[in-house]
Amino acid sequence: MKDRIIIVVSKIETEDGKAPEWIVLFTKGKGKLETGEEYLVDEEAFRMVSAKFEARGIDMVIDYEHQTLKDGEAPAAGWIKELKWDAAKGIMGRVEWTEKGGSYVAAKEYRYHSPVFAYRPSDKRVVVLAHAALTNWPKTNNQRPLLAAKLGFDDGPDEETAMDLKVLIAKLGMKEDATEEEVLAKVVELAAGGGGTTEVVAKGVLDALGLEDDDDVSTVVASIHALNQQTTTMVAKADFDKLKEKLDKRDAVEMVAAAMTAGKVTAAQKGWAEDYAERDPKGFETFVAKAVQVVPVDKLPGKTEEAGAAGEFDDTTLAVAASMGNSKEDLEKYAEG
């Protein structure tokens, strides 16, 4: 936002031969400079000037002949302590005069004061009062004072103001290239109600959720809930792999046990078979289906009558099983009958 720094001159009216307590800093309405440029003083201008004055939190100097703008001593003729708006006159300032300054004004040795201010090019409104000076004939009516840099005024863009505008645009959820007028209109709309309170979502949040710039808070909340739902039903890959390995091993053991019961796998082949079944369960199933019965469990003589309930196998059965690599325990576990 560019602000022009301007110096104008206004007459001081004495009161009963004394320096006045209140002086008109800016006359209400449009003012015109010798260069032909105009500026505007109204209540909105007063609010901006007053806000800046209050934000600085210090009394504003009235010096002699703008000596504050120069290098060297700049004694005060008075101090502006307070601002107010007068609907008939304009922006008023309450002055606490120094003894010398007050005497100069009372004696009419100084008859004018010259405020240094900035106006906004977009609407010409006065926005900042820098300071004022007692003068009888200002050397120039439109200059860029040396004090401008100290006060944060410049003819170039104000980087801090530009940054704040970008932040405001983001907070309002507007497009990055929104103009000052569009931003102001949005602020006015929100201040007036605008159909209810507008909730603004940070662009970073929208991007992280893969949403569009114009998606509302309701959409954001729904997306977060959906994300939480997915997260609670997921397990870490390492945990999943460990569980899968455990299940595959269990299935392999069961498949080999069934194959041994069917006589398709001997006890000596058990380790190999379980490894095969775990690595390639479908291939192992095909193997079992095509393999011949190597252990005739259905033709074994069975248990001795003498053993009966004791569950002992006769010598012939044990001998046949041993020749095929099966122990007595294998017979008890896998043989039928």
pLDDT at 61 over 90: yes
Overall average pLDDT of the 71-75 stretch: 84
What pLDDT score does 139 carry? 44
Angle between helix 270-279 and helix 281-290 axes, rounded to 10 deg:
130
Are 116 and 66 contacting, i.e. CB atoms less than 8 angstroms apart? yes
What pLDDT score does 38 carry? 84
Tell me the pairing of strands 76-86 and 10-11.
unpaired
Tell me the helix, strand and coil percentages in the chain, rounded to 5.
40, 20, 40
Distances (CA, A) of 132 to 8, 63, 116, 117, 153: 10, 7, 6, 9, 16
What pLDDT score does 200 carry? 60
Between the ranges 93-107, 121-135, 235-249, where is the mean pLDDT highest? 93-107
Q: Residue 82 corresponds to which amino acid?
A: E
N- to C-terminal Cα separation, the chain:
100
| 18: DSSP letter | B
Global pTM exceeds 0.85: no
- Of 118, 123, 82, 79, the closest CA to residue 101 belongs to 79
pLDDT at 135 over 80: yes
Per-residue confidence band for 188, with pLDDT thresholds at 50, 70 and 90:
low
What pLDDT score does 316 carry? 65
pLDDT at 323 over 90: no
Q: What is the CA radius of gyration of the chain?
A: 48
Lowest-pLDDT range of 90-104, 130-144, 180-194, 304-318: 304-318
In 180-244, DSSP assigns E strands to none
Cα separation, 297 vs 286, whole angstroms: 21
